[in-house]
Structure 1
């Protein structure tokens, strides 16, 4: 982790193409370490979640290059290593387990789905919540889950069209969501001092598992 963070910190401070290409050996060494980490995490997640199968790490990770065509920030690279370990590899549907490593206390473990702009997906999840309210509420109100996560996502101000009958129900605030996703923040200090990052990450992802499976039931 220290070597991974050292490279990403250097990239943060030298985010230009000349430096990037001049330090290719360091990049490849850090990337190899990250892919080994992803492989180990993938193997452990398979034991915890039967929907996960083993993939080549290269098929679970993302490039450092940023799409800057419409971005205000014109730096060419994302100084972060990212991976998504899901039933279909790194595809976000069905949902899986997301790893984001970036210096500056910006690392996190993620679950659930960012569905803004996918109205059919959003509607399918809302419909599942109304059809299985007890299951949904039992997941988000489970004490350890509630202590660990906040369900994030863009929300409407009013109950969406087609779900007006639930405006006074316990489900109302959840049906206003357009997305339902989870984030568990990781500090640099915690990551750099961890003796068993994979094991610690799997414990957090295990708490996400029922939520992910509920979302996937709608998809």
Structure 2
């Protein structure tokens, strides 16, 4: 299957799911997911793989394994809605043992939902009248759409949905040894770190705040007040780019994602070098 873009009616299913997040509604309308969104995401990954390889990027995805489940894990969540209102996947590199891992540190994350966000309120779900590719029909047209320059942030449950489609790249690290490995690389070669940041900025990318800690980590106390101070307080290193409705509805989306991954390459290579061959998997958004 060749990727041809996400259909307007399939994307509108996500808007409807946000307004009717229950098993009965999902079951009655799930054809849009099973026959549209899920195979569409698989086709996107399959078309993306050769484009990444052609750019010399050691990233790839698996049409099935790269995708995240649409079912939410509600065991430890106050929000008991059973379904996510977006679809998402990752492309990543192989682990130190040569095996491909979905969550290998230094990945590209693809987040698909209607432009303006799936969580925008709707009075009635009607795929024939809600066209995510036509801004005048979007639920967001009834309110204030997110500023394109505003960072995409997770809600209290760690869910990034609700702000529209985007692609992100970098290191969602959860293990302290991995976080400190990146920090040590920054201290060992500050020039390389700042050159990486400059290369990202030239490509129009800016590091997200990175869930910083308030105090300088003890092992790096001697760097307090220095040029690396704010950078060393980061716990994640991520860049993001918003996607438009036209982009996610077009067969050009794999090329858009591949170009973004190439622009994010300085960050990925800096982190991969810092983590070396013995790192474990980090946590993803």
Per the TM superposition, whether the score is higher than 0.5 is yes
* Distance in 1 of aligned mates of 2:235 and 2:205: 22
| Structure 1 vs Structure 2 CA RMSD | 2.0
Q: Provide, for residues 67-114 of structure 1, a one-character-per-residue CA deviation record: whole Å limited to 9, x for no partner.
A: 111212211011111111001345322312110112214211111112
**How has the CA–CA distance of structure 1 residues 56 and 101 changed in structure 2, closer, same or farther, with 3 Å as cutoff?**
same
Displacement of 1:195 in angstroms is 5.7
Q: Work out whether 1:23 is the aligned partner of 2:34.
A: no
Q: Provide, for residues 50-80 of structure 1, a one-character-per-residue CA deviation record: whole Å limited to 9, x for no partner.
A: 4224x43101111100011121221101111
Partner SS, residue 150 of structure 1: coil
**For this pair of structures, how many residues does the alignment match?**
215
Q: Work out whether 1:217 is the aligned partner of 2:267.
A: no
Moved over 3 A (4+): 187-192
Q: Provide, for residues 122-166 of structure 1, a one-character-per-residue CA deviation record: whole Å limited to 9, x for no partner.
A: 111101111122111101012424x32233311122321111222
**Structure 1 stretches lacking a partner, 5+ long:** none
Taking structure 1 as the reference length, the TM-score comes to: 0.88
Partner SS, residue 71 of structure 2: coil
| Equivalent residue in structure 2 for 1:76, among 82, 95, 98 | 82
Alpha-carbon contact 2:207-2:237 (below 8 Å) kept: no
| Equivalent residue in structure 1 for 2:209, among 152, 159, 170 | 152
5 Å-filtered alignment, 1:57-136, equals 57-88=63-94, 89=100, 91-103=102-114, 104=117, 105-116=163-174, 118-136=175-193
**Structure 2 stretches lacking a partner, 5+ long:** 1-5, 95-99, 118-162, 276-285
* Distance in 2 of aligned mates of 1:87 and 1:15: 34
Q: Work out whether 1:207 is the aligned partner of 2:213.
A: no
The residue aligned with 2:154 is none
Alpha-carbon contact 1:83-1:90 (below 8 Å) kept: no
Higher fraction of helix: 1
Partner SS, residue 177 of structure 1: coil
* Distance in 1 of aligned mates of 2:75 and 2:28: 24
Q: Provide, for residues 190-219 of structure 1, a one-character-per-residue CA deviation record: whole Å limited to 9, x for no partner.
A: 534x46222122111111111011111122
